[in-house]
Structure 1
Amino acid sequence: MKATCFWMLTAILVVQGNQAADFNVKKYGAKADGKSDDSKAIENAWKDACKSTNVMSNVVIPKGSYMVGPMKFQGPCIARQITIQADQVKFVAPSDPSKFKSQNAWVVFQNINGLNLIGASFDGQGEIAWSINDCAKTGKCNSLPINLSFNKITNSVIRGITSLDSKLFHMNVLNCKNVTFQHTTIRAPDESLNTDGIHIGRSNGVNITDADIKTGDDCVSLGDGSQQVNIEKVTCGPGHGIAIGSLGKYNKEEPVIGIRVKNCTISNTMNGVRIKTWPASPSAGIARDLHFDNIVMNNVSTPILIDQKYCPYNQCKAEIPSRVKISNVSFKNIRGTSANKVAVKLACSEGNPCQGVELSNINLAYTGNNGTATSECANVKPKLIGHLFPPACQLSST
């Protein structure tokens, strides 16, 4: 009988240990009045949830408006899974960029395994920052804070969040593995500088699905070290399109491998889908297995673009060929309208010609009144399949 009671008690304790523990930020002093700084209250709730011995922990943030300064959710955690439940919650950042001298991001998630971030709107109040952004003059674009930084996040889901008016990038995903972004909304005006929607770098297994992005730069951009990334059902525009790169600016960049972009709609953007590398690369680089499929273009300037002479602000030696090797690339089932006559432009490196580029079933009409859509090619011999309009270049030129 005693043995039976012992095992029953053990079973109860195991079940209790597996139950989620709730940590309500209101119990830590958060006011949610849109005026008081609730940063410390939320961080303290996170710290207790992180060190909880329960298998699962929930940081509960009741609906309301929370004014928060720079804020960090730091791991590693004892709890194996932590959920930040923030439906109908709005976080509001200080509008003054000088409040962020201690860190280059407003809200930081770092070194966490098993994070679930659900709901929440993050308003970066970036209008003042945009007016002082001197990136075009200096070439230095990292002096302003981004809205959300995800650094060393693994096996996690970010679902139903909104990023508004970031001072710089909306989201930076760095050194992450197996992270999924679902139902993401991003908003900033077309004239906001360097407000990339989601930037990914040195990460493996990132999935973006069902995103609606309107911003002043790339809707999604992929830097060096991005591998096995899937981007699907993204609505983009205004902005600069969906971009791999820029690559090749820095020494010893990591390869970009296995990028798939499909079932997306891009409207009224500066570019459509593009791969961009700097000339005069300090070291050799690799970008391969890059695939774009079933993309709708609506009034997009240069819907399909490989640009290996990418040189914004003329701060490079454009005459020196890029050393980034681009190979195994496909553009399939891309249709719609181009705001430029040149709807397809494949400008590969003279020193490192592109290899294994495929164009399949392209139908892009020029929206202007003078002439029809055309294509341009340099240092590439694309494989041509199916219906192609504009007619694609069959021979490379320099």
Structure 2
Amino acid sequence: MIYHINLLNGKSFHMSVYRSSNIRVHNVSMMAPGDSPNTDGIHVSHSANISITSSTIGVGDDCVSIGPGNTNISVSYVHCGPGHGISVGSLGKGKNEEKVELIRVSNCTINGTQNGVRVKTWPGAPPSEASDMIFENIVMTNVTNPIIIDQEYCPSKQCDIQKASLVKLNNMLFKNITGTYNSKEAVTMLCSPSVPCENVLLVGVHLNWMEQEDPRAGRVSLKGLIHGLDIINSSF
């Protein structure tokens, strides 16, 4: 158990959970300037049965990042902002990455971030898999990219995006996600053209653009291949 700890202005990741199991992070606070690079709040990799609950994270990168080799990771009742949101990935940067499965992000608030909930893989990534991910009961305020799948993730802009990611994304549920966003696209699904995203379900997603009079707002942006996309009782 890691609890009741305040971390301030880390020069890189504030906390890293690596090759660990049965860890609960509860009621922690992590703060850094919103423009501070690579200051992720909590990064989890190659771990199992990790719970992050009831915490406040405002940093310059991902509030929580879930890397390769993870299984059964739960993030709940986390307040995120500023930062880049809550992310699965980035995945596929290295060879022979272990798969990611059983990820649940629930009952979180995300405020003023670059992204809301995100799954990101590198272009040209070698084969691996991420499956069975649930993002539910999340409230977003003034978020730029509320829901984003990005299989052309390349922050340095020096990648060969002509090479498709071979990370297989499968069984993703986005449920009861509400709030406001400030870009033209509420939902972006940039999937691999070689390894399709499969079984993506949006249920009860209601996101309002902050400049309602612009007729270009409220779009869903799709690229690549998706097998099995269902959008139920949702509005953007």
Q: TM-score of the superposition, structure 1-length normalised? A: 0.58
2:179 to 336, 350, 361: 336
The alpha carbon displacement at 1:226 in A equals 1.2
User: Cα RMSD (Å) of the superposition?
Assistant: 1.0
2:167 to 292, 303, 324: 324
The aligned residue for residue 367 of structure 1 is: 210
User: CA 1:386–1:301 in 2, change beyond 3 Å: closer, same or farther?
Assistant: same
The aligned residue for residue 217 of structure 1 is: 61
Q: Which has more radius of gyration? A: 1
| Structure 1: gaps (5+ residues) | 1-156, 391-398
| 2: CA distance, partners of 1:311 / 1:193 | 15
Q: Which has the higher strand share?
A: 2
The residue type paired with residue 66 of structure 2 is L
C-alpha offsets along residues 258-282 of structure 1, whole Å, 9 cap, x if unaligned?
100000000100000000000111x
The alpha carbon displacement at 1:381 in A equals 4.2
Q: Looking at both structures, which has the greater relative contact order when contacts are Cα pairs under 8 Å and sequence separation is at least 6?
A: 2
User: CA 1:337–1:381 in 2, change beyond 3 Å: closer, same or farther?
Assistant: farther
User: CA 1:382–1:364 in 2, change beyond 3 Å: closer, same or farther?
Assistant: farther
The aligned residue for residue 354 of structure 1 is: 197
Structure 1 contact 168–196 (Cα < 8 Å) conserved:
yes
The aligned residue for residue 221 of structure 2 is: 376
The alpha carbon displacement at 1:314 in A equals 1.4
| Structure 2: gaps (5+ residues) | none
The aligned residue for residue 101 of structure 2 is: 257
| 2: CA distance, partners of 1:334 / 1:248 | 27
| 2: CA distance, partners of 1:277 / 1:271 | 15
Where 2:156 maps in the other structure, the secondary structure is: helix
1:278-317 equivalences in 2 (<5 Å): 278-281=122-125, 283-317=126-160
Structure 1 contact 177–205 (Cα < 8 Å) conserved:
yes
Could you list the runs of 4 or more consecutive aligned residues of structure 1 that deviate by over 3 angstroms after TM superposition?
Answer: none
The aligned residue for residue 56 of structure 1 is: none
Q: TM-score of the superposition, structure 2-length normalised? A: 0.96
Count of equivalent residues = 233
C-alpha offsets along residues 63-107 of structure 1, whole Å, 9 cap, x if unaligned?
xxxxxxxxxxxxxxxxxxxxxxxxxxxxxxxxxxxxxxxxxxxxx
The aligned residue for residue 388 of structure 1 is: 234
The alpha carbon displacement at 1:339 in A equals 1.0
The residue type paired with residue 299 of structure 1 is N
Q: Which has the higher helix share?
A: 1
The aligned residue for residue 17 of structure 2 is: 173
